[in-house]
Amino acid sequence: MRWLGMNEWRPDKLIRRLPHLQVRARIQAALRQWFVGEGLVEVETPILQVTPGAEVHLSGFATDWESPDGMAEQVRWLHSSPEFAMKKLLAGGMPKLFQFARVFRNAEGSALHHPEFTMLEWYRANAGYETIMTDCSTLLRLTGAKELRWEGNSCDPTAEPERLTVAEAFERHAGVDLFATVGDAEKLSKSSGVAMHTDDSWEDVFFRIMFDRIEKKLGIGRPTILCEYPIAMAALARAKPGDPRVAERFELYVCGVELANAFGELTDAAIQRARLKADMDEKERLYGLRWPVDPDFLAALDHGLPDCAGIALGFDRLVMLATGAEHIEDVLWLPVR
């Protein structure tokens, strides 16, 4: 059931969401307690940033920062993730940290998307992304839910997650030998039977197959850790030792819902610079828009980012799955209007 309209604070409207919101508060408290017990420090980083993030396909919220004398004005962005800021703290010597961050993504709105939401993000220095996988298993159990639910699907939060590589997922659910198609959008389209549109890149077809054939089949019955993304989709992740075709990147799926995105973090400043430029080139190709690169983040990389792994988890989605809520607004104290 949805409760559309203004005045979501009204007692008759708030009381309908209250059972979900009480679960939200309980889960947040349980996760905080666990992180502190693990030695992670809770941090708070600025929402206003030089750049909203590095994501090719996201839209940001821009704002104007006026100087006190009114003579100068600078563009600042509401961040889409606290990732860059938290990595600066890693470079500064914080070895283990977490944050429940308010983040912002423009032009989004659906049962699973909201323009302002809560991202739970954490990082561990001197740890691999397998450690973050173990963290995910623990957090699902800490929800206290007997089962996680979404659109008629269920998942046991106490079950050992299935670990599935991206190549295995494409073979199983789309009948595609993924690495035989890399860079060839037409071949990937023909192999999968998924339509290719004019000017589609290989990544465009990849994501269409993910959406049409694969995602909804992941995390059914037990969680799925979808790992080893092609290196072209590494984003901020490092290459996997022993197999340069793939990156140390995984996504956590529950009931067909993408819940989290994790990396064995890239620490090479030169490679990171090149990737950020390539991502902005692609953004400009697709949307005619570029975001600036945060020079302070580049300075932190030059100073030295320790070997580390980190993850961003959609906290509102986790609460939705734990409560069986039908819409993200059902688990928000006050939705954006």
pLDDT in tens, the chain (337 residues): 454 557 899 999 999 999 999 999 999 999 999 999 999 999 999 999 999 988 888 899 999 998 887 777 889 999 999 999 999 999 999 999 999 999 999 988 899 999 999 999 999 999 999 999 999 999 999 999 999 999 999 999 999 999 999 999 999 999 999 999 999 999 999 999 999 988 889 999 999 999 999 999 999 999 999 999 999 887 789 999 999 999 999 999 999 999 999 999 999 999 999 989 988 998 888 889 888 889 999 999 999 999 999 999 999 999 999 999 999 999 999 999 8
φ/ψ of 134, rounded to 5, equals -65, -40
Among candidates 152, 261, 264, 265, which has minimal Cα distance to 216?
152
Q: First CA to last CA across the chain, in angstroms?
A: 18
**Closest among 219, 234, 4 to 111, alpha carbons compared:** 4
Tokens of 44: 């708070």
The pTM score is 0.94
Q: What is the pLDDT of residue 1?
A: 41
d(CA 50, CA 75): 7
Select from 41, 113, 43, 128 the least CA-distant residue to 80: 113
Q: CA torsion sign, 294 to 133 to 102 to 324?
A: positive
**∠ Cα 289 291 296 (to 5°):** 170
**Any idea which residue has 């699907």 for tokens?**
153
- CA 305 → CA 93, 145, 269, distances in Å? 9, 37, 9
- Residue 188 CA to residue 234 CA, distance in Å, equals 19
Q: Output the CA torsion sign for 325, 326, 328, 329.
A: negative
Estimate the crossing angle of helix 269-287 against helix 295-303, to 10 degrees. Answer: 160
Residue 111 is encoded by which pair of tokens?
Answer: 């049962």
Of 246, 77, 54, 223, residue with least CA distance to 150: 223
Alpha-carbon distance of 232 to 239, in angstroms, equals: 10
Q: What is the dihedral of CA 97, 100, 106, 111, to 10 degrees?
A: 130
- Give the per-residue pLDDT at 4: 52
Angle at 249 between CA 37 and CA 216, to 5 degrees: 100
Task: Name the residue among 297, 181, 291 with its Cα closest to residue 236.
Answer: 297
Distance, CA of 176 to CA of 273 (rounded, Å): 32
Local structure of 327: helix, strand or coil? coil
